């Protein structure tokens, strides 16, 4: 259900009844002025989304967003159907995730016309980085000038406040001091000193973010990713993650979109343990239509490297009850951030995590850490390309076979398939990029000259060409089987040691994908070669 009464209920859960009755008319006025779009097609078994930066592909005298459109139409036309463009707004750091202005396109990338052209030709996902803004943003500059209403837009705290209960994704101090016209103020900076956290306890912040989300939908976004949304509501006496108010905010945004841009997919990005992650797939209240399937990457990496699929199968067996009409997952392995380890908590033991850390470092990769509640540190994220991590210690042919086997699982499980651009072509670590920038995550963010990429793809001996050909074949197999719809029923078992069998059913169609995660031939309804994938 959606509508003014539902939205008033959400606002009451966030602000209490008295303030909600003041905020509600202001929200409804915004929605009344929003041009309603026709209902968008949500998803099907055909859909494969490319995850990419706006300037991932470059060529002379062409805006990168225009080049991206052409690459999707030419080199990747038969592989991907949708595109998730990582933050394309003006930014100051973190390769786009310190947004300066939500309503503009970063000039070196192109224009809103380029974005709208991308969105007109395929499903398009925009990033809404709504936990924080750049310290160089006009909103924060107004905060520093102590100007209304922005002086209340960012979460501040007394520097002596006990914040030890707050869940941290980083090791730097939570609070950063800034000099303002009104005197020194200490601002929450969950991710970096340049990424200043918004304060949703101020209703003007929520209304401004509603404007942002509606703006992206109006510009053609058929899906909107809520980056790091779990951290939005702050309370230093609590963990300050996944607070009830945060869920109410996501539910409110979903309701606003349902009434103005029906069919728009709202996807939450919460790099946290599985049970916390799936809490945004509310069983009765419309909230996220999909959540990022974070455990898939560390569990798949562990399984393909060891041949032990016990944990992977046990976890995958509980996915099915979480899927329902209009509710599923966004499946991915590689990402611009690397491989999160928090989603493996409670699933993989310390020895398994240590092995993934060792393998990452053996490739020249890096490991980012976080501060734990006890004041110590723990591995938080592996900065390494997917191809290098799962191929560590083996030859190129085996690495390619492992790469394709793990992506077969991504395609077989319930959910929309998202493939990061570097996984699509089997990139190796960009060690030079890390050394030049001093930023660990740059290891998996190398950009391509389009002509160089085209030359690599036409040479069938290169890793890029071989991986893309293998991915094309896997995608083709899935597309012939409607049972692999994102909402299809799913049963996962282990018919033989090291083998994962995924059985799917949707709308009267049945299909099975059987994958050997071991480097030896096994018997699973017939011989299954090393890392072989069998569809039926």
pLDDT in tens, 88-112: 999 999 999 999 999 999 999 999 9
Does the N-terminal peptide bond of residue 149 adopt cis geometry, omega within 30 degrees of 0?
yes
Q: Is residue 495 part of a domain?
A: no
Verdict on whether the full-model pTM lies above 0.75: yes
Q: Is residue 88 part of a domain?
A: yes
**Would you state the pLDDT for residue 35?**
85
| Catalytic annotation, pick one of 227, 255, 337, 430 | 227
pLDDT 10s digits, 253-296:
999 999 999 999 999 999 999 999 999 999 999 999 999 999 99
Annotated catalytic residue 525: no
**Would you state the pLDDT for residue 41?**
84
Q: Is residue 498 part of a domain?
A: no
CATH of the domain at 88: 3.20.20.80
Rounded average pLDDT over 161-165? 95
According to DSSP, residue 192 is labeled B
Radius of gyration of the chain (CA): 23
Per-residue pLDDT at 161 exceeds 90: yes
Q: Is residue 445 part of a domain?
A: yes
Q: Is residue 107 part of a domain?
A: yes
Which residue in 396, 331, 392, 387 sits closest to 356, CA to CA?
392
Average pLDDT, the chain: 96
Q: Is residue 149 part of a domain?
A: no
According to DSSP, residue 238 is labeled S
According to DSSP, residue 156 is labeled B
C-alpha 23 chain-centroid distance: 31
Q: Kindly tell me the burial class for residue 16, based on how many C-beta atoms sit within 10 Å of its own C-beta (0-12, 13-18, 19 or more).
A: exposed
Helix axes 244-260, 203-218, angle to 10 degrees: 40
Per-residue pLDDT at 124 exceeds 90: yes
Per-residue pLDDT at 471 exceeds 80: yes
Look at the chain and report how many structural domains it folds into: 1
Q: Is residue 312 part of a domain?
A: yes
Q: Determine the Cα–Cα distance for residues 112 and 97; give it in Å rounded to an integer.
A: 19
Per-residue pLDDT at 1 exceeds 80: no
Q: Determine the Cα–Cα distance for residues 262 and 502; give it in Å rounded to an integer.
A: 32
Structure tokens at 366: 């890096």
Q: Is residue 355 part of a domain?
A: yes
Per-residue pLDDT at 473 exceeds 80: yes
H-state helical runs in 283-395: 296-306, 310-316, 350-362, 386-391
pLDDT 10s digits, 288-332:
999 999 999 999 999 999 999 999 999 999 999 999 999 999 999
Q: Determine the Cα–Cα distance for residues 529 and 430; give it in Å rounded to an integer.
A: 32
Q: Kindly tell me the burial class for residue 364, based on how many C-beta atoms sit within 10 Å of its own C-beta (0-12, 13-18, 19 or more).
A: middle
pLDDT 10s digits, 179-218:
999 999 999 999 999 999 999 999 999 999 999 999 999 9
If one counts every other C-beta atom within 10 angstroms of the C-beta of residue 25, the result is 11
Q: Residue 337 is part of which domain span? A: 41-126+208-488
**Would you state the pLDDT for residue 372?**
87
């Amino acid at each position: 259900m959606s509508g003014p009464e539902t939205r008033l209920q959400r606002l009451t859960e966030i602000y209490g009844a008295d303030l909600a009755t003041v905020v509600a008319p202001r929200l409804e006025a915004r929605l009344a002025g929003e041009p309603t779009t026709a209902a968008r097609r949500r998803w099907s078994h055909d859909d494969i989304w490319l995850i990419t930066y706006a300037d991932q592909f470059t060529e002379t005298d062409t805006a990168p967003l225009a080049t991206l459109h052409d690459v999707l139409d030419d080199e990747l036309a038969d592989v991907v159907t949708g595109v998730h463009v990582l933050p394309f707004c003006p930014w100051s750091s973190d390769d786009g995730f310190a947004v300066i202005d939500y309503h503009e396109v970063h000039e070196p990338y192109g224009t809103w016309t380029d974005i709208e052209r991308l969105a007109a030709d395929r499903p398009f996902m925009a990033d809404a980085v709504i936990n924080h803004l750049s310290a160089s943003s006009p909103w924060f500059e107004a905060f520093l000038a102590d100007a209304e209403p922005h002086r209340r837009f960012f979460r501040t705290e007394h520097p002596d406040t006990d914040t030890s209960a707050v869940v941290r994704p980083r090791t730097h101090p939570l609070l950063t001091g800034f000099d303002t016209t009104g005197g020194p103020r200490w601002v929450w900076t969950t991710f970096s000193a340049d990424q200043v956290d918004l304060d949703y306890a101020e209703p003007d912040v929520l209304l401004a973010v509603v404007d942002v989300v509606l703006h992206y939908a109006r510009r053609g976004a058929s899906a909107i990713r809520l980056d790091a949304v779990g951290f939005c509501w702050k309370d230093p006496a609590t963990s300050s993650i996944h607070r009830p108010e945060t869920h109410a905010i996501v539910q409110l945004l979903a309701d606003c979109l349902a009434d103005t841009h029906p069919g728009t997919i709202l996807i939450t990005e919460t790099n946290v343990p599985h049970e916390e992650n799936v809490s945004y797939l509310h069983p009765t209240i419309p909230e996220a239509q999909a959540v990022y399937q974070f455990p898939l990457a560390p569990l798949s990496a562990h399984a393909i490297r060891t041949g032990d699929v016990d944990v992977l199968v046990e976890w995958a067996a509980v996915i099915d009850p979480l899927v329902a009409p209009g509710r599923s997952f966004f499946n991915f392995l590689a990402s611009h951030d690397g491989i999160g380890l928090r989603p493996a908590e409670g699933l993989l033991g310390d020895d398994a995590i240590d092995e993934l850390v060792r393998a990452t470092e053996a490739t020249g990769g890096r490991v980012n850490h976080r501060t734990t509640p006890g004041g110590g540190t723990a591995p938080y994220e592996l900065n390494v390309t997917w191809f290098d991590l799962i191929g560590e210690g083996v030859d190129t042919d085996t690495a390619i076979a492992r790469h394709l086997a793990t992506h077969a699982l991504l395609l077989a499980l319930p959910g929309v398939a998202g493939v990061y651009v570097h996984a699509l072509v089997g990139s190796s670590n960009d060690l030079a990029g890390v050394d030049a920038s001093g930023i660990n995550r740059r290891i998996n963010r190398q950009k391509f000259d389009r002509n160089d990429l085209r030359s690599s793809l036409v040479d069938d001996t290169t890793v890029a060409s071989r991986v893309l050909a293998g991915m094309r074949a896997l995608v083709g197999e899935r597309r012939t089987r409607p049972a692999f719809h994102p909402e299809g029923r799913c049963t996962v078992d282990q018919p033989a040691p090291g083998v994962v069998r995924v059985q799917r059913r949707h709308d009267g169609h049945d299909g099975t994908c059987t994958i050997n995660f071991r480097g030896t031939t096994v018997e699973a309804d017939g011989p299954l070669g090393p890392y072989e994938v069998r569809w039926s």
